[in-house]
Amino acid sequence: MTRPAPFLVALSLLLTALVPGASAQGEDVQAKIRTSIDTMIQAIEEGNDPMRNRM
């Protein structure tokens, strides 16, 4: 798997900062974000790009 693009890392940090309540409740927000990003990257690499398909 390729390394995530810098904008995906920035997105992860931004989303983590915007959801402090979830962290306080014991949820592993960073792991959920990482999983979502990995899923998105895998779909794009396989040619299944939902954002492009909508256009």
pLDDT recorded at residue 37: 85
pLDDT recorded at residue 49: 66
Q: Is the pLDDT of residue 52 over 80?
A: no
pLDDT recorded at residue 44: 78
pLDDT digits (tens, 9 = 90+) for 3-42: 656 666 777 776 666 666 655 556 688 888 888 888 888 8
pLDDT recorded at residue 28: 80
pTM for the structure as a whole:
0.44
Task: Give residue limits of the domains in the chain.
Answer: 6-48
CA distances from residue 50 to 12, 19, 45, 46 in whole angstroms, order as listed:
19, 25, 12, 11
